[in-house]
Amino acid sequence: MKHHKGEISFPGGVVDEDDEDVEATALRETFEEIGLPGKNVEILGTLDDSVTVSSDYLITPIVAEIAYPDRFSINEEEIEELIEIPLEDFLEEDRWIKETYANGGKKILSYRFAHEGRIIWGATARIMRQFLDALFEDTRGAGK
């Protein structure tokens, strides 16, 4: 992995020529990285595309429901560890840090989330915030 090595992220990767669409890529990558078979995944939809600031990768977040608890089989060549965080933890606003910084003349909105001594940041944190805002838009408001 050339970029983002050692960072906390969702399963994912580059679309292969054999992938029918981004959903197929998500299912393939999820199986390759954490051993979750596609038959145990129900794709619910997508979130807005997100671009990584440091490497300019375009990410199409796929939202899915899985049969839980499921057994995961980590591909140790790609994954150091699997971190499971209950949704309720992400709803604790005091664990989120929201900041804005300048990058190439643009203002970038950034989030950080603290969990058991780890910091989730960058595209992963932005995608999680987008998911929470979509899930709870009637009660939370956008970007709060």
Q: Which domains does the chain have, with CATH numbers?
A: 22-140 (3.90.79.10)
Lowest pLDDT segment from 24-28, 62-66, 87-91, 137-141 = 137-141
- What distance in Å separates the CA atoms of residue 52 and residue 5, rounded to the nearest whole number? 13
Alpha carbon distance 46, 103 (integer Å): 27
Instruction: Tell me the per-residue pLDDT of 75-84, one tens digit each, with 9 for 90 and over.
Output: 999 899 999 9
This prediction's pTM: 0.84
Q: Output 44-49 pairs: Cβ under 8 A, ≥24 positions apart.
A: 46/22, 47/127, 47/130, 47/131, 47/134, 48/130
- Average pLDDT over the chain, rounded to an integer: 88
State the amino acid at position 117 in one-letter form. Answer: G
Structure tokens at 144: 């709060």
Closest of 5, 31, 4, 3 to residue 16, by C-alpha: 31
**Rounded mean pLDDT, 97-112:** 88
| Model pLDDT for residues 28-69, shown as the tens digit of each residue | 999 999 999 999 899 999 999 988 877 788 999 999 999 777
- Token pair recorded at residue 16: 């292969």
Residue percentage of the chain with pLDDT more than 70: 90
Per-residue pLDDT, 1: 47
